[in-house]
């Protein structure tokens, strides 16, 4: 569902409950996205997110440049060439291992880079058995992707991004601007109903018990 469809559905629910309808689209989006973020974090740690291909987007044709190991942002200090993406990645959902990335490949798809951590890569580099491996590695740090020893020049990055990134690909020229309301709302379809319910509960608290009702209940308990 797009942001427009999600917000309109939520506005209808709010109006059905005779609540204040003077909310702007941005107001309603902010309420919804707060609940969506909580639900997504829960699903990430339960592992359900990873089996849903539709949640992952491809950030295409990201340029990779050579950098120095004395760069203060460089996550490793080694005597080999290090390369990184020229620009930081869009904000990505995080799990216990870091950004949720499904694949990092060369643009033509012939080379895949194994996503790891700087520490794990350095340990593998010291292992004589691993030195014979043909695997190529990449690790995320400080918002960039870092490529030790190999420069792919341009890469595609398949990840679970917090927002719609369809306008951020570098592969296509003269791409049409996508309006915010027409971007995809960043939540799995199966969680929309729960998000709406939680958002409504937040906006419209349960009716408080009237004082006379409380007195009657107290009287009944005494009898």
Polymer length in residues for the chain: 223
CB half-sphere exposure, 30, CA atoms < 13 A: 6
Strand ranges for the chain from DSSP E: 57-67, 82-85, 94-95, 98-99, 101-106, 112-115, 136-141, 144-148, 154-159
Other C-beta atoms closer than 10 Å to the C-beta of 181 total: 15
77-101 tens-digit pLDDT = 666 688 999 999 999 999 888 899 9
113-152 tens-digit pLDDT = 999 988 887 787 777 666 656 789 999 988 999 998 889 9
Instruction: Look up residue 104 and give its two tokens.
Output: 């990092």
**For residue 153, pLDDT beyond 80:** yes
In this structure, are residues 81 and 152 in contact, taking their beta carbons and an 8 Å threshold? no
What does the pLDDT read at residue 101? 94
What does the pLDDT read at residue 183? 87
This prediction's pTM: 0.75
**For residue 209, pLDDT beyond 90:** no
4-52 tens-digit pLDDT = 999 999 988 888 766 556 788 999 999 999 999 999 989 888 888 888 8
**For residue 185, pLDDT beyond 80:** yes
- Of 111, 108, 105, nearest to 158 (Cα)? 105
Instruction: Look up residue 70 and give its two tokens.
Output: 């004395």
């Amino acid at each position: 569902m797009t942001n427009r469809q999600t917000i309109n559905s939520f506005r209808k629910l709010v109006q059905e409950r005779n609540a204040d309808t003077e909310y702007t689209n941005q107001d309603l989006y902010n309420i919804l996205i707060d609940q969506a973020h909580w639900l997504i974090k829960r699903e990430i740690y339960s592992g359900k997110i990873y089996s849903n291909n539709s949640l992952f987007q491809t950030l295409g044709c990201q340029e990779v440049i050579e950098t120095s190991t004395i760069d203060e942002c460089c996550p490793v200090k080694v005597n080999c060439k290090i390369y990184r993406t020229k620009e930081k990645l869009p904000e990505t959902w995080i799990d216990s291992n870091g950004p949720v990335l499904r694949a990092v490949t060369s643009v033509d798809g012939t080379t895949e880079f194994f996503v790891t951590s700087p520490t794990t890569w350095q340990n593998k580099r010291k292992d004589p058995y691993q030195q014979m491996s043909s695997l190529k590695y990449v690790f995320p740090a400080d918002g960039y992707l870092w490529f030790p020893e190999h420069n792919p020049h341009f890469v595609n990055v398949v990840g679970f991004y917090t927002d719609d990134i369809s306008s951020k690909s570098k592969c296509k020229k003269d791409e049409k601007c996508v309006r915010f309301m027409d971007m995809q709302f960043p939540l799995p379809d199966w969680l929309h109903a729960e998000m709406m319910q939680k958002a409504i509960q937040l906006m419209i608290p349960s009716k408080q018990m009237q004082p006379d009702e409380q007195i009657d209940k107290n009287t009944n308990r005494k009898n």
